[in-house]
Structure 1
Amino acid sequence: MTQTAVDLSTDAQAEICEALNQCVAETAVTTMLAQNFHWNVTGMAFAPLHELFQQIYEDHFAAQDDLAERVKALKGHANGVLAEMVKASKVDEYPDSKGASAQDMIKAMLAAQETLTQTIGGAGELAAKHGDTLTEDLCIERGRTHEKFAWFLRAHLDG
């Protein structure tokens, strides 16, 4: 039987919200990472990377809202404090995009996508454990998106 936000225990809601806020934090940091790279990428692959980084930050910006709204549906607090998100994130900001090559940017964004895939997968497993199929479904969808972006980035490195 599918659990709704109303059916979940307070402890389950809190646990899932914590995991989702981690996803929001890492998605927010990755959004800005992609936008930074979009603005600053140069070189022979400028056009496709400029476009790919834009696709990533636009997707991730919308995803932040979806994830945060799920937190609110679960009666949690969606943490929107940027400094706290940066601190909590397992995805790091790029220290100096001014000196980054396109390949450095691709590698950093690939690592961010892989981290997001793991984090969102963990949140989905936690939701499944509690019978929260709606959150699980959201996490599965996001996981597929991050894996696809990782594939696109990896393809640039294989060439």
Structure 2
Amino acid sequence: MKTAIGIGPEHREVVAHQLATLLADEFVLSTKTLRAHWNLEGPDFHSLHGFFEELYQQAANRADQVAERIRQLGHYAPASLKTFLQLTHLTEQDDAGTDSLRLIRLLLRDHESIIEFVRGILDEFQSAHKDAGTSDFVTTLLAQHEKTAWMLRSHLK
């Protein structure tokens, strides 16, 4: 069925592709946060174990929202690990360790990377593609990442 939402198909395609990259970033971040939750050790285990659990649930929820936004634009969301790894800006790290401060630094770096990516596409959605809905949507995600980055950064002081 044709998607008739007042945005031309060529614009929806570009926006959906950018959102696919964001989806990959959110999925990879969710996995990396889950790894931190599972493998954390140290005297701050109890408090950070719960904090990391909250963060990976938020990341998984954001990934779901991004995938649904792609569908609202009339496109299919990527849904394979291979595709996510091809699209993401983030890198996997097998040597993340179990130390809370190292894990926090790694997660902070990923949130900041996503913040920079979203800032780069935000205006484009509105100005170049006339997609105020997606612009508003990613603005909300940007604020969520900024808050999480602040919380992670606060652990490092």
Q: Deviations over 1:93-130 (max 9, x none)?
A: 22224x34211101100001001112223332221122
The answer to which of 27-36 and 128-137 deviates more is: 128-137
Identify the match of residue 115 of structure 2 among 117, 120, 130. 117
Partner residue of 1:78?
Answer: 77
Contact 2:20 2:87 in 1 (8 A): no
Q: TM-score, normalised by structure 2?
A: 0.91
User: Map of 1:33-48 to 2, 5 A cutoff?
Assistant: 33-48=32-47
Cα RMSD, aligned residues only = 1.5
Cα deviation, residue 64, structure 1: 1.0
Identity over aligned pairs, percent: 27
Q: How does 1:1-159 map to 2 (within 5 A)?
A: 6-97=5-96, 99-129=97-127, 130-158=129-157
Structure 2 gaps of 5+ residues are none
What TM-score do the two structures reach when normalised by structure 1? 0.90
Length, aligned pairs only: 154
- Shifted more, 76-85 versus 139-148: the winner is 76-85
- Unaligned 5+ residue runs, structure 1? none
2 CA distance for matches of 1:122 and 1:76? Answer: 22
State the one-letter code of the partner of 1:120.
Answer: V
Structure 1 position 6, deviation (Å): 2.0
8 Å contact kept, 1:22–1:119: no
Range with greater deviation from structure 2 (4-13 or 86-95): 4-13
